[in-house]
Chains A and B, each alone.
Chain A
């Protein structure tokens, strides 16, 4: 394993982990408010396709990113309507949203498959200009990659250092108590879904506009479900989510490295490691109440009429 290979794994992890991290951050916010979104896959697809379409039409990737964020927020609001206002089951609603996303994204993206777009410019990480091009090209990142860690910190700050975040977490623990102390759980949950959805949209935008620079149906490849797993893996904490997303993507990159060094381990088996890790972590920490799920996660808030 040369230094180049190891740095290469790190670089690949950062590149492909960025979209995963944004998505996970969005879901952290939602789950902290007590809503689990199994339809993330659909949200990602719709955001990715609309962002890509707008980028192609206007030639402006930044506009595409904004539209993707908006699309993500809107898709989540659909979930919100079903789950908060109509009090439907969260899992079923999430899955329905997923199917909706499959179809809607295909419709939006149809004319844009294989279209070339202007992507985001790549900027070298400051201070590395002296390195030979082979190394420095590993660290030419685009705007969204640079923003992802600040975004995680922003989410942390939102959840733990603002009144809004406090209210959100209170609603996630026990909506009735939160209501009794003067908050409106329904409004807070809608807000959480919209903000979370925008972050998910950001992740989708990075995927289609900056990373793959392409649109194909189902291109997110299960990232939505990976994000749900990562939220648990990072124990619903935005800063730990950074580690989770990085570990996951590094595992993928590492597996690719192994492949091309002639090692005969099945890439499929290697791919399962992150999920098995998450399972193990869940089981190991399961009994420990300190870092467990927000108590009212998944439950319907009946409210008082």
Chain B
């Protein structure tokens, strides 16, 4: 990659960096697509046709494109749930669990307060969702801050516990009379409104607003700067009077809250019910997106978009090429492999 950079002509520094970054991303995505094309060839499918299918179904019509945006929404949030704690050096792999618990809390709100009007109910559900996610992230954050256990392991374990709690709640208390795998459909007031007849729901606004807020926060507020100090050199930060422990716990909880909001937006905006195991590794995909983009808000938007294109397009692949839908994970994995194998992307990120 660096050879390509050297070969490019000189030009004003800022513009060049941006262009170089775009070019780098593009080349990597191309390489991943090439590798996946080889897999397709080996399995006897036509790669050109397959890629045409993917692109036609995502960019070829407005509905397909709107589906891509819909798929992006939870990933924007779960990626941020990893990005914010990472700014103080925390590794939050617990997005999956925090998402589920946030969804559970929000469902509780939807089912208990179903008589309230939307302008009250939705904010209540949002708060509940964030509370749930934050609670689920609290223990790992706390134990990390007192130096007892690594948050990577604790968040992973709590990931496994969360869907079982959801199962318990659905089957024990909330299941709809006709189908025990999910709750009753949410009342209209509990559903996030969608735009222009597509399935794009208000969660998109949450995601974009939070991304901007995140960027502003890190760059321009005192807290953002202190977080940077902690990430850079925790001992020095502590000596300078920054309450590191508090930051660790709060960062973890805020990350969890954002993931919880993602959960809420999925059950309220997308599904309209609480479903068992509704998350198709959304938390882990958020983790990957955060890594692919280096925790940068703009990068998160771009990579969420790319990942969503892959999955939305992959759906059509199943119908036209006879490939199992799960195969599209290979394309995602190759994209990840290619980026992971090129460490120059991760300038300044601790491993």
Contacts and interface: CB of A to CB of B under 8 A. Distances in A.
Interface of A: 38, 78, 81-82, 86-93, 95-100, 102-107, 110, 217-218, 222, 225-226, 228-229, 232, 266, 268-269, 271-272, 275-276, 278-279, 282-283, 286-287, 293, 298-300
Interface in B169-224: 171-172
A99 B148 contact: no
Contact of A268 (B93, B147, B165): B165
A91 B93 contact: yes
A103 B156 contact: no
B263 interface: no
Contacts of B172: 266
B301 to A, nearest CB: 19
Contact of B287 (A92, A218, A226): A92
A89 B290 CA distance: 13
A229 B157 contact: yes
B337 A89 contact: no
B167 A268 contact: yes
Interface in B136-155: 143, 147-150, 152-154
Contacts of A276: 161
B167 A89 contact: no
B79 to A, nearest CB: 12
A103 B326 contact: yes
Interface residues of B, number: 49
A86 B341 CA distance: 5
Interface stretch (B47-55, B58-66, B116-124, B328-336): B328-336
A92 B168 contact: no
A225 B326 contact: no
Nearest to A86: B341
Looking at B171, B326, B328, which has the most chain A CB atoms within 10 Å of its CB?
Answer: B326
Contacts of B287: 91-92, 95
Contacts of B168: 266, 268-269
B340 interface: yes
Nearest to A277: B157
B324 A82 contact: no
B284 interface: yes
Looking at A103, A225, A279, which has the most chain B CB atoms within 10 Å of its CB?
Answer: A103
B112 interface: no
B75 to A, nearest CB: 13
A229 to B, nearest CB: 6
Contacts of B323: 107
B83 interface: no
Contacts, number: 139
9 contacts: A89-B346, A92-B287, A100-B333, A226-B160, A266-B171, A268-B167, A278-B157, A282-B154, A293-B150
Interface in B295-351: 323-334, 336-337, 340-343, 346, 351
Contacts of A299: 351
B246 interface: no
B202 to A, nearest CB: 29
B58 to A, nearest CB: 18
Contacts of A293: 150
Contacts of B165: 268-269, 272
B98 to A, nearest CB: 15
B160 A82 contact: no
A264 to B, nearest CB: 10
A232 B326 contact: no
Contacts of B326: 102-103, 105-107, 217-218
Given A89-B351, A268-B168, A99 B332 contact: yes
Contacts of A110: 324
Looking at B154, B157, B325, which has the most chain A CB atoms within 10 Å of its CB?
Answer: B157
Nearest to A92: B291
A96 B91 contact: no
